[in-house]
Structure formats: C-alpha cells, structure tokens
Amino acid sequence: MQLQQIDMNLFPVLDAIYATRNLTRAAERLHITQPAVSNALARLRRSLNDQLFIRTPAGMSPTPLTESIMPRVQQALALLDSSVTEHQEFEPASAARTLRLSMNDMAETLLLPRLLEHLQHRAPGISVESFYVPRDQLVKELAANSLDFGLDIPIVSATQLEQQRLVADRYLCMLRPDHPLAQADSLNLEQYLALEHIHVSSRRSGPGLADIALNKLGRRRKVKLRVQHYRVAPLVVMKTDLALTVPASLARQYPAKLFELPYQIPQMDWHLLWHRSQHEDPANRWVREQLVELFCGPGATN
C-alpha cells in the first residue's frame, strides 16, 4: 500500500494508543470520543493489514508490526509538530501547559523547590508533573512526547537525545552534628571504615559507587542500612551514628557535619535530556534555559 492511500490523521491516534495502552485514555489525550478512537484504529488496521494492538488484561498490547514502526512514526509526528511550532513565539507569562519531568527523588529534592518558585514568578500557568521513568524507557517516552525532559546521568548511546550537563556533584561523608567524630577536621580511611554506613540504591542488592571504589583499594565498608531513596537517608543520619556517603548538593541541605572522602569516587554528573525533535520548539527551549539558569547561573547553589 502507498503512503498516500493512508489517512495521515490516523497516526496521532496510533501514537496515543501506544502511549496509553488504553482506548479511553487515548481519547482523552486526543480530546475526541472513545468510539472515534475505535473507528480510527479499525481503519488503520485495514490499511496496514495488521491488528496493531491486542486487547489483554494489562491493556492494549502492541503487535510486532506496531513496535517496529512506532519509533519512526513518533519521530515523524514530533518533527511535524516542531515544524509547525518552531516559528511561533512562546509567552511564558501567559502559557498554560504541563511540564513533564523524569527524575529520581534526589533530583526532585534539588530541583523542584527552586523550579516551582521560579515558575510562580515567570510562568504561573505552567504545571509540573514529576515521575521516574527507567533509563531504558527514557528515549521512547521522550520520542513519544509523553515526557518533556529527563534529569539523569549521561546516556551515551542515545543518539536521538540532546544532553546538557547541569551539575557535577562530588561525594561527601555526612555525620550528625554531635557525632563523636564531629569535632575532627578531617576523616581518614580507617576512621571511615570503622563507621557503620547507609547505602542508597533502588536495587535489592549489589554495590554502589563507594563500594566499587573501595573494592579497588582492597577495602570494604560496613553497611548497616540499605534504603531505596536518598531523601530518607539523611534523616536517619541525624538520629543515629550511621554515616552516609552522599552527593554534596544534597548533603549541604542539612545541618550535618560533612567530611571530604578519604578516597576517590567518580563525581555524579546530572544531565538534562530532551529529544532532538524538540530542540527548536520555543517552549522546550525556554524551559531548558530556565533549568540551566537554576543549576548553572549566578544564583545557583550547587
């Protein structure tokens, strides 16, 4: 079948179903009725001679054909959208839209208070949704326009993404302010290893950057507590004798005793990630500029 024989209006429907896995939610996203979505899907099935989606208990599951064509469909829709909007002016003071960000709990702690204060003055009509998208799904979500930006470590293999470093964060050792070692000027390796530690990881097992660095020295720390999120770990530090090896930007938010580490850990680089098709979009560009200003500008507190 030739492309000119297919109604191009059907592809945004395909994209919406693929993103939501649900006909009703796809209809809400497109601001049309659910029967209209069902009718569009039926027409596209006939045109492409494939079921495209199979109804399952978990939702509308894409067929292999759908999975194979969606990256190019999403890219084409995004390019078309950016072509239409790239010459339009973006007025932040009157803009009404939702900004969707993927980040973990530590990034939320660092960014959201400053970002919402910033938007309150410059773009009060912009709402923010923050949620975590696994790294292996990030490119797909950005390509589908179901996500505007990711805040994560660099993703070297993702050629479809644009990236800009926001923070180069070194690690410090955090202790409560009245800890027995709090009066010391520095912490040597033996003192560090004598402490009991908190390890932060979303995984159930496995080493972190601190453990990997210590393993190279033939040493090992004592992990007393393993937690999922950085946000809770400093609260435990403030109530116990446990130590936390933590990025400096988060550590400085607490009235704790901070020490330089007595060994080397690679710094944590936070990068802003967005899809290449959105690079010239005026709204996307304005938000990027604000985020860079918050992290890298004169008033930043990294």
Q: pLDDT tens, 90-128?
A: 789 998 889 999 998 888 888 899 899 999 999 999 999
The verdict on residue 190 lying in a domain is yes
**Residue at 79 is within a domain:** yes
What is the band of 178 on the pLDDT scale with cuts at 50, 70, 90? very high
Same domain for 145 and 123, yes or no, is yes
Name the strand (E) or helix (H) holding 215: helix 209-216
* Residue 302 forms part of a structural domain: no
Of 60, 85, 110, which one is at a domain's C-terminal end? 85
Residue 300 has a pLDDT of: 56
Residue at 282 is within a domain: yes
Q: Is the pLDDT of residue 198 over 70?
A: yes
- Give the chain's domain count: 3
What is the rounded average pLDDT of the residues 28-35?
89
Handedness of CA 15, 20, 23, 24 (dihedral sign): negative
Q: What is the CATH number of the domain that holds 9?
A: 1.10.10.10
Domain region containing 29: 3-85
The predicted pLDDT at position 83 comes to: 62
The confidence score (pLDDT) of residue 38 equals: 93
* Shared-domain flag, residues 137 and 72: no
Alpha-helical segments (H) within 231-278: 233-237, 248-251
Cβ neighbors of 192 (< 8 A, separation 6 or more) are 173, 221, 243, 261, 262, 263
Amino acid at 20: T
Query: What are phi and psi for residue 57, nearest 5 degrees?
Result: -60, -25
Residue 81: strand, helix, or coil: helix
